[in-house]
Amino acid sequence: MEWRTEFTRDQENQIEEALMTVKDPEIDSISVIELGMIELIKGCHNQVSIYVLPTFMGCPALDIIKSNILKAVSSLSWLEQAAVFFIYDPPWTSDRVTEEGRERLKEFGIAPPPEKIDETGEWHVACPYCESIYTTMDNLFGPTACRSILYCKACKNPFEAMKPVSTLM
C-alpha cells in the first residue's frame, strides 16, 4: 500500500483505521487492507483518492466494497471528497494477502492461499482447523470465485481455501 499524499501522519493513520473497518462482504473477518486490495492512496487538503485492485473480475462484492470504502472514509469529518478507482495494474495476486490477513481467513474457516506452488503446478493446503496437510481437493471451484472446496482427512472437516492466483498462471 503506497501513500502519495500531503496528509499528516495522523491523518494517514485515520484513513488506514477507517479502511481496516471495511471487510470483505463475503468473509467478514478480513479487511480490504489485509486482503492486499488497496494499492495506492493519493490526497491533499480535504480530498482523497483510493486505488483498489479487484480480486476476481466477476466478483459481485466489488460494488459493495467500493461503497463501503466511501462510507468508511466519509466518517472522517476533515475529508470532504473521496473517490474509489478500480485498477488492474498491478494485478491482484493471492500473495498480497498479509500475514494478519492469513490468520483472519483461518478464523473464518478458510485456508489462506498456498505460499508456494510447485513447478508442476501442484499446491498443498493445510486444514484451517487442525493444520494437517492430509487434505483432499473436492472442487477447484467453490461458493465464491476466489475459493475452492477441500476436505480434511485428519479432522474430517470440509473446508474452503482461497485459490492461489499469480501472474505465472
Partner 1 sequence: MTEQLSDKSKQALINLLYQLADDDFILAFRGSEWLGLAPHIEEDVAYSSINQDTMGHAAMFYKLLEDLGEGDVDELSHARKSTLRKNAVMLELANGPGHYLKEPNYDWAFTVVRNYYYSQAKKVKIDSLKQSSYKPLADAAVKVSMELYYHLLHWTVWFKQLIQAGGEAKEKMINAIKKAEADFGDVLSLGPLAEDIVQSGFIESETVLTQAFHKRMDPVFQGLSIPYSGRFQQINGKGRYGEHTEELVQALDTINEVYKINPKAVW
Interface with partner 1 by CB under 8 A: which residues?
54, 56-60, 87-89, 91, 93, 138-145, 149, 163, 165-167, 169
| Alpha-helix runs per DSSP H in 59-124 | 61-74, 99-107
Residue whose CB is less far from partner 1, 5 or 135: 135
Least distance CB 26 / partner 1 (angstroms): 13
CA distance 27 to 70: 19
∠ Cα 29 109 15 (to 5°): 15
Least distance CB 75 / partner 1 (angstroms): 23
For residue 95, which amino acid is it?
A: D
Residue whose CB is less far from partner 1, 6 or 89: 89
Q: Comparing C-alpha atoms, which of 71, 74, 76, 61 is closest to residue 26?
A: 61
Residue whose CB is less far from partner 1, 20 or 145: 145
Least distance CB 138 / partner 1 (angstroms): 7
CA distance 87 to 90: 8
Coil vs helix vs strand at 4: strand
Least distance CB 165 / partner 1 (angstroms): 4
CA distance 92 to 56: 8
For residue 16, which amino acid is it?
A: E
Residue whose CB is less far from partner 1, 106 or 163: 163
Residue whose CB is less far from partner 1, 78 or 169: 169
Least distance CB 39 / partner 1 (angstroms): 13
